[in-house]
Structure 1
Amino acid sequence: MKIFIKGLPLQVEESELREVFGDFGQVRSLRIIKDRETGQSRGFGFVEMPNAEEAKEAIRNMNGGDYYGNTIFVAEAKEDRPEGNGGGNRGGSFNRGGGNRSHSRY
């Protein structure tokens, strides 16, 4: 399943994001979209996870969560999703700086 993420803090690297999604299952591929001119993150990206249930669990836990002070939007990627057409907060909790997640790293 392909997952779309937006609202990523600019300092987040692909290796860190791969590790975060890896807490939920195997990550097949991951890509943070970068500006062609500057090489800086554009604040969104895609993750592909081969197991749909693990991907859905990642979406449930991360959507609407706090990631280094940014509220992130995490959803199943849609080929026809116009940029900026996000969803609402589904009440997920993902607080990279500490919080009440069940994963001990956070």
Structure 2
Amino acid sequence: MTVYIGNLSYEVTEDDLSAVFAEYGEVKQVKLPVDRESGRKRGFGFVEMQDESNEEKAIEELDGAEWMGRTLKVNKAKPRTPRPTSSGWGGNQRY
């Protein structure tokens, strides 16, 4: 299971997020997505922990908590769904 953390400060680092979640158990991986064009963090991240019960405790205690001047939104991450392929007007399609 992976935890989604929303409304993060743009100043947060993977180390910062790892340290917060390490208080609840072993952290396996932290990801902070960045915008492709600007390289700026997007204001959300993902944390994967070793033990699911620790993840649930972290979600329960951190959802709605204030951290770095922001109120966090913390919940189970939803599986990524593939983007639909474009079948609009254009390309080399003939009708």
Matched, 1:76 2:76: yes
- 1:3 partner SS: strand
Matched, 1:50 2:50: yes
Quote the offset at 1:40 in angstroms.
1.2
Tell me, which stretches of 5 or more residues in structure 1 are unaligned? 82-106
Count of paired positions: 81
Tell me, which stretches of 5 or more residues in structure 2 are unaligned? 82-95
**Runs ≥4 in structure 1, deviation > 2 angstroms?**
none
Larger relative CO (CA 8 A, sep 6+): 1 or 2?
A: 2
Identify if the C-alpha distance between structure 1 residues 6 and 24 changes in structure 2 by more than 3 Å, giving closer, same or farther.
Answer: same
Q: Which has the larger radius of gyration?
A: 2
Letter in 2 for 1:15: D
Percent of paired sites with the same residue = 37
Q: CA RMSD in A?
A: 1.3
Matched, 1:12 2:12: yes
* Per-residue deviation, residues 45-84 of structure 1 (Å, max 9, x unmatched): 1111120110011101100111111111000111168xxx
> How far apart are the structure 1 equivalents of 2:25 and 2:74?
16
Q: TM-score, normalised by structure 2?
A: 0.80
Q: TM-score, normalised by structure 1?
A: 0.72
